Structure 1
Amino acid sequence: MIQTKEFKRLIAFKTVYESSSFSKAANTLFLTQSAISSQIQQLEEELQVTLFDRKGRNAITPTEAGRIFYDQVREILEVWHNAMQKLSDQSEYRKKCTIAASNSFSISFMPSLIEYLAEKHPNIEFNVIESNSDSIYNMVLHREYDFGFVERALPKNSKITQMQVLKDPLVLGGDPGSKLWLTRENHSAMNHFNYIYLQENGIIPENIMIANTNDFIIRMLESGQGRSLVSKRNLKGHDIPYEEIDSRYERDFHLLIPNPATTVYEDVWASIEKWCSEIRNEALGANVINSDKQNTEVDLF
């Protein structure tokens, strides 16, 4: 294994050989002439050959051994330089992957997903963008985003691969006596579900407030203001009363991918599918536990 000090000797030898002068080599390498002479002498002792004929204080010529050694040193240093350059390029170059998601998906799932992907793909720089489903669809269509998560099925297009990946059950959260109804803006899946629920149940709120984020709605509900259909998952960690509603009220999160998919991100796609599978299994396990708990409670009476 070549040590650093040996590389310094090789560089010193090459510089002396090419400049035909100890003093010029010393100036080039920002060393003293005695330091250069010492390195060449150590190299000659280690190789047990004379590399230069000293014909005067500054006049030197390479020996036959020196000429042969020079060719080998030049190749060694070139290989080393190329290897170091490739490693440097590899460490500096990180693939970039843009993942866009709706507000609901971002709040409920994105932290877990990005943590999972970052661990699986440390050489990929993930750029996360939050937007509405229609905007994400258009950006994926034009290959501005590599992956997009939306809250509903969108129009079919031969340029986009679209698949249902996760289900998100909704509940009716908030103060049952509140006259204020909270919902999202138009074109939001949550706006659609809220208005369908109101129509089907003959509810006419005295006041309706439009919010542009689910986080704001959660904060309102937590402060005791209003009612709204919200993701059951989003209520974790919040002291918000809620009631279960018909299982028809659930969002289908879909994954959008440009078609054909970029080969570079096939491994990311595979990881996303595996992560989705783990989330589905986690939800299934939670449902089984809740079901067993309810059955146990019934048996007690």
Structure 2
Amino acid sequence: MEDHRLKAFCLIVESRSFSKAADAVFLTQSAMSHLVKSLEDELGVKLLYRRGREVRPTPAGELLYRHARQLLDHYRKMGGDMDDLVGRVQGPLSIGATATAAAYLLPEVFYGFSKQYAGVVLQVKVESSEKIVQDLREGRIEVGIVEGDAKDFPFHAVGIAGDEIVPIVSDDHPLAGSESASVGDLASHALILPEAGSASREFLDDFFRKAGIPPEEVKVRMTAGSPELIIQMVQSGIGISFLSKWSVFRAVKEGTIRILQVSGAKLVRDFCMVSVEEVPITAAARAFTAFVRGYRFFMPF
């Protein structure tokens, strides 16, 4: 029942791009332009400025965006109420997940949930914890799976699985023959770390601070957002890194990298499920959060 023109318009405003918005809903850019033009003709105002490849809303566009978001939220709630009325669990479910959670923690969850709720179409966005919180706030996703402490998130959050961050080295690295290393020893080698500003990087920066090592004095050789890329760079000998046990399991099993223990310390954190409300709006989101809360996660090793 929702006006697809409003949904398209909101996507364009949020992504600041016709092409990104078009890709998100599998339409052509010309189709997106036609939808916006239809709105502009109906309202008699210009809604968007185009500056090169970037798109920004006009004052009229900003006003429409605020009302459109509220309308789309009401449409979604109405759909959820109708599903509840007839006991139906179906439709799209937008989920945000960090790279580690999406690649290593959730595939079996998605498989089990999809098998039980075949009418639900999972729409998974892989992004940073910060972006997931932003998307929850702006209504672009209903559920987020992130790393961190549940009490640190501005919405309802519950821990769903444990995690441990471990130092990893290539099998021919000077530290490879050691079972453990001090924080100082690790910091003295070239490091491959998560991107600055990410939740994982802040976690590691805090770890170094607590050990008396200012993060700016750590020898960062490279930063990357992909756990798989970091593992490959460690294997190539560029440096050492710190990653979730969930993400290094396969490489450790294959013998291409080795795990070290940190002398006198253990880097532990949680994976959390986050939603704006304790009881999500749609039946699909409620079914998913209940499924995840009841799922038994086991640390790889």
TM-score category of the 2 structures, normalised to the smaller one: 0.5 to 0.7
- Where do residues 231-270 of structure 1 align in structure 2 (5 Å cutoff)? 231-238=244-251, 239-245=256-262, 248-259=266-277, 260-265=279-284, 266-270=286-290
The one-character-per-residue Cα deviations of 1:44-89 (angstroms, maximum 9, x if unpaired) are xxxxxxxxxxxxxxxxxxxxxxxxxxxxxxxxxxxxxxxxxxxxxx
Identity %: 17
Q: Which residue of 2 aligns with 1:222?
A: 235
Q: Secondary structure at the match of 2:238?
A: coil
C-alpha root-mean-square deviation of aligned residues, in Å?
A: 2.6
TM-score normalised to structure 1 length: 0.56
Q: TM-score, normalised by structure 2?
A: 0.56
Q: Please state how far the C-alpha of 1:156 moved relative to its aligned partner.
A: 5.0
Compute the displacement of 1:240 (Å): 0.5
Equivalent residues of 1:101, 1:129 under 8 A apart: yes
**Aligned with 2:139: secondary structure?**
coil
**Does 2:160 match 1:165?**
yes
How far 1:181 sits from its partner (Å)? 0.4
Matched, 1:185 2:195: yes
1:97 aligns with 2:97: no
Shift of 1:192: 2.0
Is the radius of gyration larger for structure 1 or structure 2?
1
Partner residue in 2 for 1:110: 106
Q: Are 2:130 and 1:125 aligned? A: no
- 1:216 and 1:96 map into 2 onto residues whose CA distance is 31
Higher helix content, 1 or 2:
1
Secondary structure, aligned partner of 1:241: strand
Flag the structure with more relative contact order, 1 or 2, with Cα contacts below 8 A and sequence separation at least 6.
2
Unaligned segments of structure 1, at least 5 residues:
1-92, 288-301
The answer to whether residue 212 in structure 2 is matched with residue 196 in structure 1 is: no
1:233 Cα deviation after fit: 2.1
- Contiguous gaps of at least 5 residues in structure 2: 1-88, 176-188
1:1-301 matched pairs, under 5 angstroms:
94-153=90-149, 155=152, 157=154, 160-175=155-170, 176-177=173-174, 179-199=189-209, 200=211, 202=213, 204-238=217-251, 239-245=256-262, 248-259=266-277, 260-265=279-284, 266-275=286-295, 278-279=296-297, 282-283=298-299
Q: Distance in 2 between matches of 1:184 and 1:254?
A: 19
Change beyond 3 A, Cα 1:236–1:201: farther
Shift of residue 263 of structure 1? 4.3
Q: Distance in 1 between matches of 2:204 and 2:221?
A: 11
Q: Could you say if the C-alpha distance between residues 98 and 182 of structure 1 is closer, same or farther in structure 2, counting changes exceeding 3 Å?
A: same
User: Shift of residue 231 of structure 1?
Assistant: 1.1
Q: Which amino acid aligns with 2:160?
A: V
Question: How far apart in 1 are the matches of 2:290 and 2:90?
Answer: 19
The C-alpha deviation readout for 1:185-229, integer Å capped at 9, x for no partner, is: 122222123333444164955443111222211111122321111
Instruction: Please state how far the C-alpha of 1:94 moved relative to its aligned partner.
Output: 4.9
Q: 1:127 to 1:247 in 2, by over 3 A?
A: farther
